[in-house]
Amino acid sequence: MPGLIRGVARTAVIAGTATAVSGRVARRQAENLADRDQAIAENRGEGYAAGAQAVYQAPPPAPAPAPAAAPDLGTQLTQLAGLHDEGILTDEEFAAKKAQILGI
C-alpha cells in the first residue's frame, strides 16, 4: 500500500507541475498575443487611411504631347498656292487662308 500511495503522490506532483507550467506558458502567450493585437488595432486605422488615400488619389495626368511644329510661312504659302493652282481652292478661299496664315 505505501508503494501505491507513493505512486499516486508522485503522479499528483507531476500533474500539478505540468498544469502550473502549462498555465504559465498559456498566460505568457496570451499576453504576447494581446500586445500584438493591440499594436495591430492601433495601426489598423493608419493602414486603412493610407490605403484609401492611395485608391482615391489619382495619378497626375500625363503631360500633353508637344504640339507638332507648324511649317514655316513659306512652306504653308507654297502648299496653299499649289492647291489654288490645282483648282482645289477658289480665289476667295485662297485669299482667306492666305490672310489667316499671314495674320492679316
Cell triple for 98? 492666305
Mean pLDDT throughout 87-102?
A: 88
Q: State the average pLDDT for the chain.
A: 76
- Residue 27's φ and ψ, nearest 5 degrees, are -65, -45
Confidence (pLDDT) at 51: 59
Does residue 49 share a domain with residue 3? yes
Condensed to tens digits (0 to 9), the pLDDT of residues 28-75 reads 888 888 888 787 777 776 655 555 555 556 666 777 777 666 667 788
64 part of a folded domain: no
* 89 lies in the same domain as 43: no
Angle of the 91-102 helix axis to the 73-85 helix axis, nearest 10 = 180
- Sequence-distant (6+) residues with CB within 8 A of 89 are 80, 83, 97
Range of the domain at 14: 1-59
* Domain count within the chain: 2
Q: What are phi and psi of 36, to 5 degrees?
A: -65, -45
Statement to judge: residues 11 and 36 lie in one domain: yes
| Residue located via cell numbers 489619382 | 58
